[in-house]
Amino acid sequence: MSDKKLGFDTLQVHAGTEPDPATGARQVPIYQTTSYVFKDADHAARLFNLEEVGYIYSRLTNPTVSALANRICALEGGTGAVCCSSGHAAQIMALFPLMQPGCNVIASTRLYGGTLTQFSQTFKRFGWSAKFVDFDDLDAVREAIDDDTRAIFCEAIANPGGVITDLDAIGKVAKNAGLPLIVDNTASTPYLVRPIEHGATLVVHSTTKYLTGNGTVTGGCIVDSGTFDWAASDKFPSLSAPEPAYHGLTFSETFGPMAFTFHAIAVGLRDLGMTMNPQAAHYTLMGIETLSLRMERHVRNAAEVATWLEGDDRIEAVTYAGLPSSPYYERMTRICPRGAGALFTVALKGGYDACVETVSKLELFSHVANLGDTRSLVIHPASTTHRQLSEAELIKAGAAPNVLRLSVGIENVDDLIADLDQALS
Ligand code: PLP
């Protein structure tokens, strides 16, 4: 059966995998091997020349990791996908074939704090830069684009505020500028948002979060829509010009819609080595089978917790886009009609000190630097994930000093509300 015809719940269990051809094992085996025996010298040469697809060495590909990449690809409605060692690795791997020294990315101000730091600081070491813009101001996004821009980057549901990006509008800006739109779909997952349907060229994930769902392993994934014409301009020579390390092969000509994916494996993983290991892929394959069931409960619990918090006197504001009072509510019904996710912030009237005290008193909510676990999680971004930012940057990123970020889990919602109530008091 073609994956295209199957529903999401079926794909999350079956896509990308078949019973193991060697043993019939029903579950995807953990192929714990670094290398694969070539049939003969010709076979090895064809693999190394990219004339035949197959397994060479696990820095590049591994059957367990490929099964996960194919499953995420099917869930996102992409053409090809590559897994890597973390969400941050996925961001670098997505940009690596697009960028050169002197080039820039137009990035939303509403991004995970670690991404803001990666883009504003570490990029400099590569000669890259990022221009941060409020993505609700489409004119500002258009004006920021210049001849050296190579990509537009945002999160579908932004960490920490849970703000929903108008992907349709940003997708049009990117298309008119002839630029790829890269969407981090970590906080939304393909169950809530399928960015490719809204104009994304590439989708990146921290599989560490909801896709795995059990807080066991870090991982990342890049899904390519396969729709961007890399040869339409001279801006993307890694994909559209001859590659010296492969005897002058041109990825866009040879692999068409799979150009990005083949480049990400054959050059990106080969040279950057940000490989996902098969154990990590196994844990994520286990988690992803229940993604839709978990996301339904996450969303239902988050909506109830946010509604309760909004009605409480100790609370200044709640950013949950699923609340009818949210300025992003209409956008939610268009971009993610199944719900606004389970990640949002809550501003406490008691300020910074009240945040620190509440975090220490919570019992069911764990104080951790993670999100998207089955367990409810809490963090105070200003003193942790976002502590590198100035006060102005904190406010722009939706992480003011009196703000807590909640990642609402799948526990009984009454217990979660009772825990928040006792901690706030
Ligand atoms: N993108 C988002 C939205 C995140 O929240 C995170 C981590 O919290 C990342 C990317 C980075 O992912 P990882 O920690 O797997 O590198």
Per-residue pLDDT of the chain (425 residues; tens, 9 = 90+): 566 689 999 999 999 998 998 899 999 999 999 999 999 999 999 998 888 999 999 999 999 999 999 999 999 999 999 999 999 999 999 999 999 999 999 999 999 989 999 999 999 999 999 999 999 999 999 999 999 999 999 999 999 889 999 999 999 999 999 999 999 999 999 999 999 999 999 999 999 999 999 999 999 999 999 999 999 999 999 999 999 988 899 999 999 999 999 999 999 999 999 999 999 999 999 999 999 999 999 999 999 999 999 999 999 999 999 999 999 999 999 999 999 999 999 999 999 999 999 999 999 999 999 999 999 999 998 888 877 778 887 887 788 999 999 999 999 999 999 999 999 99
Mutate which of 72, 85, 86, 88 for ligand 1 pocket (most atoms within 8 A of beta carbon): 88
CA distances (Å), 211 to each of 29, 75, 280, 281, in order?
Answer: 19, 11, 12, 11
- Please tell me the distance between residue 183's alpha carbon and the centre of ligand 1 in angstroms: 13
Q: Is the CB of 184 under 6 A from ligand 1?
A: yes
Considering the domain architecture, whether residues 224 and 316 belong to the same structural domain is answered as no
Task: Judge whether 69 lies within some domain.
Answer: yes
Considering the domain architecture, whether residues 230 and 310 belong to the same structural domain is answered as no
Domain boundary among 287, 319, 339: 287
Spatial separation of the C-alpha atoms in residues 13 and 173, rounded to whole Å = 35
Considering the domain architecture, whether residues 102 and 52 belong to the same structural domain is answered as yes
Task: Judge whether 1 lies within some domain.
Answer: no
Residue 387 has a pLDDT of 79
Decide: 322 and 332 in contact? Cβ < 8 Å.
yes
- Please tell me the distance between residue 233's alpha carbon and the centre of ligand 1 in angstroms: 31
Instruction: Give the long-range contacts of residues 249-254, CB within 8 A, separation 24 or more.
Output: 249/50, 254/50
Residue 1 has a pLDDT of 59
Considering the domain architecture, whether residues 112 and 259 belong to the same structural domain is answered as yes
Task: Judge whether 67 lies within some domain.
Answer: yes
* Ligand 1 closest atom vs CA 159: 3
Mutate which of 86, 91, 108, 112 for ligand 1 pocket (most atoms within 8 A of beta carbon): 112
Residue 339 has a pLDDT of 97
Residue 379 has a pLDDT of 96
Spatial separation of the C-alpha atoms in residues 35 and 382, rounded to whole Å = 45
Domain boundary among 221, 252, 287: 287
Task: Judge whether 26 lies within some domain.
Answer: yes
Task: Judge whether 206 lies within some domain.
Answer: yes
Task: For tokens 């825990």, name the residue.
Answer: 419
Domain of 59?
Answer: 7-287
* DSSP-assigned letter for residue 425: -
Q: Is the CB of 162 under 6 A from ligand 1?
A: no
Question: What is the residue-wise DSSP string for 108-173?
Answer: ES-S-HHHHHIIIIIHHHTT-EEEEE-TT-HHHHHHH--TTEEEEEEESEETTTTEEP-HHHHHHH
Helix (H) or strand (E) holding 202: strand 202-206
- The number of beta carbons lying within 10 Å of the beta carbon of residue 143 is 12
Considering the domain architecture, whether residues 320 and 182 belong to the same structural domain is answered as no
Considering the domain architecture, whether residues 297 and 281 belong to the same structural domain is answered as no
Considering the domain architecture, whether residues 74 and 121 belong to the same structural domain is answered as yes
Considering the domain architecture, whether residues 56 and 179 belong to the same structural domain is answered as yes
Task: Judge whether 215 lies within some domain.
Answer: yes
Considering the domain architecture, whether residues 111 and 255 belong to the same structural domain is answered as yes
Domain boundary among 255, 287, 319: 287
Considering the domain architecture, whether residues 311 and 253 belong to the same structural domain is answered as no
Spatial separation of the C-alpha atoms in residues 303 and 294, rounded to whole Å = 14
Task: For tokens 């239902």, name the residue.
Answer: 300
Q: Is the CB of 210 under 6 A from ligand 1?
A: no
Decide: 181 and 152 in contact? Cβ < 8 Å.
yes
Domain total of the chain:
2
Burial group, residue 26, by CB count within 10 angstroms (0-12, 13-18, 19+): exposed
Q: Model-level pTM? A: 0.96
CATH number (domain holding residue 320): 3.90.1150.10
Structure tokens at 232: 């339409």
Considering the domain architecture, whether residues 256 and 176 belong to the same structural domain is answered as yes
Considering the domain architecture, whether residues 319 and 255 belong to the same structural domain is answered as no
